[in-house]
A and B are shown apart, each in its own frame.
Chain A
């Protein structure tokens, strides 16, 4: 199967001499839910900008469903839907007009454009707001409007640049569900986000970019398996003694009922439970101290610094 996106040795040097991309290469399979992560200024948005023609590349090759953008960019663009980081619509236009106009730019006749716009505005819960100027919508609604707009020509590859930034938790969850649904229907999705739990929950494959280079490109499972340690917080029923020690584990008493335990690769949390059980301390609940992907991300980015 041809890849949805192929990037080979992509380079970008801005006019001021800043080298934003230093020859990155990656491939995104059809149907994938792919995370492109990196700290601010790493080169994520530049990469996305080049894919959708808002940024001119300095070198390298990009193909979308095997269509080289240097040979037939308009054909490649037909397959791409983009949800940018910043709001980039006319705030004075009505939501429906924004989506219908976008369909028109892709050559969809007015009747079909109206039908598609209605479908996606309904799916994203914006149909009731269709006649409201975009500036009157809430931040979350504006983000959903950009998603509806990006889907109106039914692209096979959807690129979302921090789509849930500034969106409340409930709205974020509903957007996750929607994205998972369209991914299950066959749309390939590339996601950049600063919420690493979002990437961990949604994405199957991941690339981490830092200082314009890919520092990791693998499956989410493989990446998380590389974690050498995990830190758990245990909520204890009984009051903890002032000094707690478990052989082989780094343990820290946080308060009367909370214990922090570091579990190294190869160790088992059961050993901790057994040791506490001997002390007649029972665990009511347990959680990760930090998101696992976040730890991995920090390790990779700091290691590359």
Chain B
């Protein structure tokens, strides 16, 4: 298959993915906007006003980057996991597997679909946050890099989950029992400085700490961890997830008999 044909195939997958989540926008886009509005109201306005400053910012300003990143992580992950598992479940993935489209293009198509939903939800949540606080961006470059790297990483993670999943239960186990706790313990609502030394060190094993802090640095200019180390960790996990996803596709594991 020639390069321009692969490109057409790639655009076809991306278009299909975007159409899919826009068609069911009440399930894919709206919930994040509502959930984040509640977070802003409860944690930012009601409780936040009693907490005072954190790392030199109002509590509302402090939690906004983490909440935006939370929306990006969950949406890029859940888009790929539900879409790819759905196509496995309905056997429509066979449409792709019997075609000459390369495994790399298949993976990229789904990942870009997931990234696009993550970005769209990030825009929606950011717009919602503007009703509650003023946002001034410290580094647009860092913000863009972190958003793209993070959404790619979690889209890939969603893909791996989808390949291994045998039922719809399997695609909700990881988001519910792994992803959500890691996000909550990743410093979205608090600074690592508040933790006792032992728990602060344990938290450093949580990859979401680097994602949240790198993004917070991009927005506010403060971080509990070194920016370069955080970006390095995200890049490392992204490369690992990409390599493993390609291995799954090339070996045909759980996709071909």
Partners in one complex: yes
Q: Across the interface, do B95 and A102 meet the contact criterion of CB distance under 8 Å?
A: yes
A233-258 vs B, CB cutoff 8 Å, 1 = contact: the mask equals: 00000000000000000000000000
Write the chain B residue with the least CB distance to A87: B91
Known: A54-B256, A55-B256, A74-B102. A101 touches B95 (CB 8 A): yes
A215 at interface, CB cutoff 8 A = no
Q: Is B6 an interface residue (CB 8 A)?
A: yes
CA separation between A163 and B173, bound complex, in Å?
A: 38
Task: State the CA gap A107–B11 with chains docked (Å).
Answer: 10
Q: What size tier do the contact residues of chain B reach?
A: 20 to 34
Q: Are B8 and A53 touching (Cβ within 8 A)?
A: no
B26 interface residue (CB < 8 Å to A): no
Contact of B94 among A54, A73, A109 (CB under 8 A): A54
Is the Cβ of A105 less than 8 Å from the Cβ of B90? no
* Contact residue among A97, A98, A107, A110 (Cβ-Cβ distance under 8 Å from B1): A107
B98 touches A90 (CB 8 A): no
Do B94 and A74 have beta carbons less than 8 Å apart? Answer: no
Asked if B37 is at the interface (CB within 8 A of a chain A CB), the reply is no
Interface SS majority for chain B: helix
- Assess whether A106 is in contact with B92, with CB atoms less than 8 Å apart: no
Please indicate the chain B residues that have their CB under 8 angstroms from the CB of A110 in the complex: 8
Given contacts A86-B91, A89-B90, A104-B12, is CB(A54)–CB(B257) below 8 Å?
Answer: yes
The CA-CA distance from A275 to B91 in the complex, in Å, is: 60
Q: Name the residue of chain A whose CB is nearest to the CB of B99.
A: A105
Within 8 A of B (CB), among A2-16: 14
A78 at the B interface (CB under 8 A): yes
B97 touches A106 (CB 8 A): no
**Closest CB in chain A relative to B20 CB, distance in Å:** 8
A74 to B100, CA, bound (A): 4
Measured CB to CB, the nearest residue on chain A to B252 is: A56
Within the assembled complex, what's the spacing in Å between the Cα atoms of A14 and B256? Answer: 11
Q: Which residues of B contact A14 (CB under 8 A)?
A: 257
Most chain A beta-carbon contacts within 10 A, residue among B13, B94, B98, B252: B98
- Which residues from A are CB-within-8-Å of B15? 104
Task: Give the complex CA separation of A104 and B19 in angstroms.
Answer: 15
Q: What's the least CB distance linking B249 to chain A, in Å? A: 12
A90 touches B92 (CB 8 A): yes
A77-B100, A78-B100, A107-B5 are known contacts. Are A91 and B90 too (CB-CB below 8 A)? yes
Cβ-neighbour of B257 out of A55, A73, A82, A102 (below 8 A): A55
B8 to chain A: which residues have CB within 8 Å?
104, 107-110
Q: B110-126 vs A: 1/0 string, CB under 8 Å?
A: 00000000000000000
Question: A14-B257, A106-B5 given as contacts; is B98 within 8 A of A80 (CB)?
Answer: yes
B9 close to A107 (CB less than 8 A): yes
Whether a CB of chain B sits under 8 angstroms from the CB of A84 is yes
A141 to B99, CA, bound (A): 23
Restricting to A152-183, which residues have a CB under 8 Å from any CB of B? none
The residues in B between 96 and 149 inclusive whose CB is less than 8 angstroms from any CB of A are 96-102
Query: Which residues of B lie under 8 Å from residue A196 when comparing CB positions?
Result: none
Whether a CB of chain B sits under 8 angstroms from the CB of A75 is: yes
- Please give me the residue from chain A that is nearest to B91 by CB atom: A88
Bound-state CA distance A77–B95 (Å) is 12
Chain A positions within 8 Å of B9 at CB level: 104-107
CA distance A110 to B15 in the complex (A): 11
B247 at the interface (CB under 8 A from A): no
B4 at the interface (CB under 8 A from A): yes
Q: Are B90 and A106 in contact (CB under 8 A)?
A: no
Q: Which residues of A contact B19 (CB under 8 A)?
A: 97
Question: Which residue on A lies nearest to B101, using beta carbons?
Answer: A105
Q: Decide: A107 and B257 in contact? CB cutoff 8 A.
A: no
Quick check: is B45 within 8 A (CB to CB) of the other chain?
A: no
Cβ of B204 within 8 Å of any chain A Cβ, yes or no, is no
B87 close to A (CB within 8 Å): yes
A105 near B96: Cβ-Cβ < 8 Å? yes
Offer 16 A-B interface pairs, CB within 8 angstroms, sorted by A.
A56-B252, A82-B98, A87-B91, A90-B86, A97-B16, A101-B95, A102-B95, A104-B12, A105-B101, A106-B9, A106-B100, A107-B1, A107-B2, A107-B5, A107-B9, A109-B8
A-B interface, 10 closest residue pairs, ranked by CB to CB distance from nearest? A107-B5, A104-B12, A74-B100, A88-B91, A105-B99, A77-B100, A90-B92, A52-B98, A55-B257, A88-B94
Given A74-B100, A84-B94, A107-B2, 9 additional A-B pairs, CB 8 A: A53-B256, A54-B256, A74-B102, A75-B100, A88-B90, A90-B86, A104-B8, A106-B5, A149-B95
